[in-house]
Amino acid sequence: MKSAIAIRHVGFEDLGAFAPGLRAAGYQVHYWDIGEQELWTLEPVKTDLLIVLGGPIGAYEDEAYPFIAEEITILEQRLAVNRPTLGICLGAQLIARAAGARVFPSGAKEIGFAPIALTESGRSSCLAPFAEAPITLHWHGDTFDLPAGAERLASTDLCENQAFAMGPNIIGFQFHPEASAKGFEKWLVGHAAERAAARIDVPRLRSEAQTYGPELERKAQAVLSAWLGGLEV
């Protein structure tokens, strides 16, 4: 059985709607929880698939969170040998940084359900399901420069680099394609301070999660299936 390790920074930002698709594709999924498992014990190259999940910290906060430097080292090693790697939100920022790009505060919070706009490359990528149904979940305040050699796949007005690919094996999503209505209440509680500071309305977010939930799950399964099917291993 193939191995998929997900580095998880906070418990509620998990694989979400991606988890069933990974198992259906024959991956044995294991979480590497920051603060519980030591990153030095993670084999950086032999793991068939590495997924780096989101979290409410900056990819540039090495001094406050020394494990970030360890994650960067792991990602650098995987990028060097083109091993399948996927990043979501903070994970995408860490991949970008490992590829030599700058990560920095965007100056605005992008929180809530809103559309993404696919580039020409994005429309022919695993993100094709978003062409006709562009709504997804956004929850971030940082952004990054496009890594050298990467293709931009999606944008929003507030964030030019919403998704990028470095060949078929490396992909990063600034938005949250894995999110759905299931478990969303944990997001509302876990991000309560950030949400309150941004004056985001909880009942509206909860209602939108229920409205878009089934569509988001279908897109998550389609996106993951397409990406896994295109891997070069």
Q: Where are the domains of the chain?
A: 2-229
195 — pLDDT class (breaks 50, 70, 90): confident
Residue 190: pLDDT above 90?
Answer: no
Q: Which of 139-143, 154-158, 195-199, 215-219 has the lowest mean pLDDT?
A: 195-199
Which residue from 104, 9, 106, 108 is spatially nearest to 61, judged by alpha carbons? 104
Classify 176 as helix, strand or coil. strand
- Specify the pTM: 0.96
Q: Which of 2-6, 105-109, 160-164, 221-225 has the lowest mean pLDDT?
A: 105-109
Mean of pLDDT values over 169-197: 91
Greater confidence (193 vs 227) lies with 227
Name the fold adopted by 2-229.
Rossmann fold (3.40.50)
Residue 198: pLDDT above 80?
Answer: no
Cα–Cα dist 80/77, whole Å: 5
Mean of pLDDT values over 87-113: 96
pLDDT of residue 199: 85
| Tens digit of each residue's pLDDT (9 = 90 or more) over 7-41 | 999 999 999 999 999 999 999 999 999 999 999 99
Mean of pLDDT values over 206-212: 95
Which pairs from 117-124 meet CB under 8 Å and 24+ separation?
A: 117/154, 117/155, 117/156, 118/153, 118/154, 119/151, 119/152, 119/153, 119/154, 119/155, 121/151, 121/152, 121/153, 121/165, 122/152, 122/153, 122/154, 122/163
